[in-house]
């Protein structure tokens, strides 16, 4: 077996999996203001951008090879219904318009979920429950029209793809119907189909200020031990009209990516989430790991498992590393 491992040139021609800049989607946080680049303490190297600096950041990463971004909004104010999330001139629609004007060839995907916009931090509208142990639960069916409204606001601003991450049942169908009825039948949906109730989202919640103020997300996000259930989730979303589906997180769920790839022929995305990124950053800062080698190994593993697209905070860095490799 060692004959083909002797030289970089030989290893290169027999390599089974290759990363390419077009594999990556860079998640970015946008907030109100001007000239702001607010570093996220829990995610070294990532910032919350105002619209103007976001455009500059995307121009820089586009030059490196990044061809797609996913936007998360950090609104000026939050309320129980997340109204700032579906305002036509909200933070995400404004960012989308500016980005599409400056970089028409950048694929702009928007995250569709209420948790960044609600004061309670849950991904939907709350209802009081009667006679159950929990006092509140997320009301699935009252949340759907709000997600549809948010998707429309993003599509009207020019979003190339909308990506619902809330994990309500039936939201892909509701969003598809709303988009179709308003002239956006050509706007694709990337659904966070198999999204787990994971502790790896910790740094993100700090970045977006979206941690639930009470309770947790186990009532709507998936239970980590389950893989057959992920297949059912994906099947439902594909049947409701999802054009692409996502598994999230990625690294601790490579088996789920693999199972999804084997069963479905739609493009599969995997989200290399904040905790997976920040763990490596922390270890690299301590001098315990080589960030570049570990990051490329992780991204390669996610692709090898079967992902076609990888959402990763390393997107611009990884493009740079691939160029210099």
Cβ-based nearer residue to ligand PBG, 40 or 131: 40
In contact, 62 and 106? CB cutoff 8 Å: yes
Stretch binding ligand PBG (CB under 6 A), from 88-96, 125-133, 200-208, 258-266: 200-208
Task: In angstroms, give the least distance from the CB of 319 to ligand PBG.
Answer: 19
* Binder of ligand PBG out of 106, 273, 298, 307 (CB under 6 A): 273
Cβ-based nearer residue to ligand PBG, 51 or 208: 208
Nearest to 152 by CA among 125, 123, 175: 175
Compute how many residues bind ligand PBG; rule: CB under 6 A: 12
Distances (CA, A) of 187 to 153, 236, 249: 12, 19, 25
* Binder of ligand PBG out of 62, 201, 220, 253 (CB under 6 A): 201
Stretch binding ligand PBG (CB under 6 A), from 55-63, 87-95, 201-209, 222-230: 201-209
Cβ-based nearer residue to ligand PBG, 83 or 205: 205
Q: Where are the alpha helices (DSSP H) in 34-170?
A: 51-64, 91-102, 140-157
Task: In angstroms, give the least distance from the CB of 121 to ligand PBG.
Answer: 8
Using a 10 angstrom Cβ sphere, with 0-12 exposed, 13-18 middle and 19 or more buried, the burial of residue 225 is exposed
Stretch binding ligand PBG (CB under 6 A), from 52-60, 86-94, 108-116, 144-152: 108-116
Cβ-based nearer residue to ligand PBG, 94 or 195: 195
What is the residue whose two structure tokens read 């606001």? 153
Interacting residues with ligand PBG between 118 and 137 (CB under 6 A): 123
Cβ-based nearer residue to ligand PBG, 97 or 205: 205
Cβ-based nearer residue to ligand PBG, 226 or 262: 226
Distances (CA, A) of 42 to 146, 210, 237: 30, 14, 32
Binding mask 6-45 for ligand PBG (x = CB under 6 A): ----------------------------------------
Task: In angstroms, give the least distance from the CB of 165 to ligand PBG.
Answer: 4
Cis check: omega of the bond before 249, within 30 degrees of 0: yes
Distances (CA, A) of 107 to 15, 110, 160, 247: 29, 10, 6, 20
* Binder of ligand PBG out of 111, 160, 233, 237 (CB under 6 A): 111
With helix as H, strand as E and coil as C, how does 168-214 read? CCCHHHHHHHHHHHCCCCCCCEEEEEEEECCHHHHHHHHHHCCCCCC
- Beta-ladder partners of 269: 246, 309
* Binder of ligand PBG out of 28, 54, 58, 115 (CB under 6 A): 115
Catalytic residue positions? 195, 248
The two structure tokens encoding residue 47: 């910032």
In whole angstroms, give the CA distance from residue 245 to residue 50. 29
274 binding ligand PBG? (CB under 6 A): yes
SS3 state at 131: coil
70 binding ligand PBG? (CB under 6 A): no
Applying CB under 6 A, the residues found at the interface with ligand PBG are: 111, 113, 115, 123, 165, 201, 204-205, 210, 217, 273-274
């Amino acid at each position: 077996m060692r004959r083909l491992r002797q030289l970089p040139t030989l290893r290169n021609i027999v390599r089974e999996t290759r990363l390419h800049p077009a594999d990556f989607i860079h998640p970015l946080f946008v907030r109100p203001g001007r000239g702001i680049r607010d570093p996220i303490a829990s995610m070294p190297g990532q910032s919350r951008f105002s619209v103007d600096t976001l455009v500059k950041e995307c121009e820089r990463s586009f030059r490196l090879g990044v061809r797609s971004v996913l936007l998360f909004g950090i609104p000026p104010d939050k309320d129980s219904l997340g109204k700032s999330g579906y305002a036509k001139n909200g933070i995400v629609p404004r960012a989308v318009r500016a980005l599409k004007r400056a970089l028409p060839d950048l694929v702009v995907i928007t995250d569709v979920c209420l948790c960044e916009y609600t004061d309670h931090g849950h991904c939907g509208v709350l209802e009081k429950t009667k006679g159950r142990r929990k006092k509140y639960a997320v009301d699935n069916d009252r949340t759907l029209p709000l997600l549809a409204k948010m998707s429309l606001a993003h599509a009207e601003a020019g979003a190339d793809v909308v990506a619902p991450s809330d994990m309500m049942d039936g939201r892909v169908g509701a969003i598809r119907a709303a988009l179709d009825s308003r002239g956006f039948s050509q706007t694709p949906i990337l659904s966070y189909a198999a999204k787990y109730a994971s502790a790896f989202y910790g740094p993100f919640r700090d970045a977006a200020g979206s941690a639930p103020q009470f309770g947790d997300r186990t009532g709507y996000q998936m239970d980590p031990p389950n893989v057959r259930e992920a297949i059912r989730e994906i099947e439902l979303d594909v049947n409701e009209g999802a054009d692409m589906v996502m598994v999230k997180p990625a690294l601790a769920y490579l088996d789920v990516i693999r199972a999804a790839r084997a069963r479905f022929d739609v493009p599969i995305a995997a989200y290399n989430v904040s905790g997976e990124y920040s763990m490596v950053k922390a270890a690299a800062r301590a001098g315990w790991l080589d960030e570049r080698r570990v990051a490329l190994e992780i991204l390669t593993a996610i692709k090898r498992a079967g992902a076609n697209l990888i959402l990763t905070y390393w997107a611009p860095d990884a493009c740079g590393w691939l160029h210099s490799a």
